[in-house]
Amino acid sequence: MILHELVSYETLRLVWWVLLGVLLIGFAVTDGFDLGTGMLLPFAGKTDLERRVIINSIGPVWEGNQVWLILGGGAIFAAWPQLYAVSFSGFYLAMFVILVGLILRPVAFKFRSKRADPRWRARWDWALFFSGVVPALIFGVAVGNVLLGVPFRFTDDMHILYEGTFLGLLNPFALLCGLVSVAMLAMHGAAWLQLKTDGLVADRARRYGSVAAIATVVLYAAAGVVLWQAVDGYRITSAIVTEGPSNPLFKTAQVATGAWFANFDNHRWTWAAPVLGLVASLLALALMRARRGGLALLASGAAIAGIILGVGAAMFPFILPSSLDPRASLTVWDSSSSHLTLFIMLVVSSVFIPLIVAYTSWVYKVLWGKVDGAAIADQRGHAY
């Protein structure tokens, strides 16, 4: 027997769907507090020294955190090529804006302190604010559009045609999802600042983080109600073939009212994901109010995981539904790479992902503790 046949095609597809979720959660939880910290920079820091403390709380770790984004993009490219083709071409302008924000962040880090002019530094501070808010907003908008269905279809020769526009992505439900993303990452960034700073910066972070936690609960609940009452989901109407060829057109599907809640009705344990998103947000609020920054960071990370898992649980087995032709919708069972490709990638990932986790854990251990404002003021070390 060939080695890769020891694991069924169905199992490998399911494993890679789970791994994609893990990578997305890893990015949202790690780089999420970087984005949240950028959002809070002009508000939690009032003096130049306070803002330098905030910047230096994420300065040594932000690059490592973005590894999860690279891994996620690579996983989509290799494991779900049709998903990569549709999303990275259809959402091209949106992704370009995200990349502008992510690229602007290190530029701002490097150039902000090149001049002592307060106006110069203030401009870079707002650039960091932009680089935090805009990617967070657009990531959420993208999730909202995925839930609504993306305007793409296949031709008879399997050529992908995307018929949407950038402005079409900015619909009310998608913007609501974008606000959920902004609020939850602001909450996460505030918890990080409580852990890594003290004094007035930590106090302001606690106040803004409390507001963000309340906003996360309210907006997430509102998005759930809108999804239930006003957004139609998708369901497969033909026989589900879990080990068939990767051709979405071999199935039939349709838009159906309430379809995104079918998995929750059929498998009640899946309610644990959205409940975790709400309960952990409230717990993060309580812990921030109690000045328990470390535990608040864990709680806000759990809230992010719950919110993302809730979307995955609602949509399974759909990955990217098509609003133009429901039959063309991409699912776990009909849009993956080959059996052999998924197996080889799983072997490689089982080696490198633990190494990344171990290295990242070591870095955080070395950099543990609060940022020393006095050391930054004295210009010791290599502070930004």
- Write the pLDDT tens digit of every residue in 172-197: 999 999 999 999 999 999 999 999 99
- Could you identify the residue written with the tokens 């890679």? 16
Tokens describing residue 269? 């344990």
- Say if residue 295 is exposed, middle or buried (CB neighbours under 10 Å; 0-12, 13-18, 19+): middle
Answer with the residue of higher pLDDT: 50 or 158.
50
* Mean pLDDT of all residues in 261-265: 94
Q: Which fold has domain 9-158+171-377?
A: Formate dehydrogenase/DMSO reductase fold (1.20.1630)
pLDDT of residue 18: 95
What are the strands, taking DSSP E only, across 269-383? Answer: 318-320, 330-331
| Residue 380 pLDDT exceeds 60 | no
pLDDT of residue 63: 82
Paired residues of 331 in beta bridges:
318
What does the alpha-carbon distance between residue 40 and residue 335 come to, in Å, rounded to a whole number? 40
Answer with the residue of higher pLDDT: 333 or 90.
333
Q: Residues, the chain, total? A: 384
pLDDT of residue 3: 63
Q: What does residue 131 show for φ and ψ, rounded to 5 degrees?
A: -70, -15
**Mean pLDDT lowest among 54-58, 68-72, 324-328:** 68-72
* Mean pLDDT of all residues in 321-338: 93
- Say if residue 272 is exposed, middle or buried (CB neighbours under 10 Å; 0-12, 13-18, 19+): middle
Amino acid of residue 188:
H
pLDDT of residue 381: 57
| Residue 142 pLDDT exceeds 60 | yes
pLDDT of residue 93: 87
- Say if residue 234 is exposed, middle or buried (CB neighbours under 10 Å; 0-12, 13-18, 19+): buried
pLDDT of residue 90: 81
Which residues are within 8 A (CB) of 379 and not within 5 positions of it... i.e. 6 or more apart?
A: none
Tokens describing residue 259? 């379809």
> pTM above 0.85?
yes
Confidence of residue 162 (pLDDT cuts 50, 70, 90): confident
Average model confidence (pLDDT) across the chain: 91
Determine contact, residues 87/141, Cβ cutoff 8 Å. Answer: no
pLDDT of residue 382: 65
pLDDT of residue 183: 97
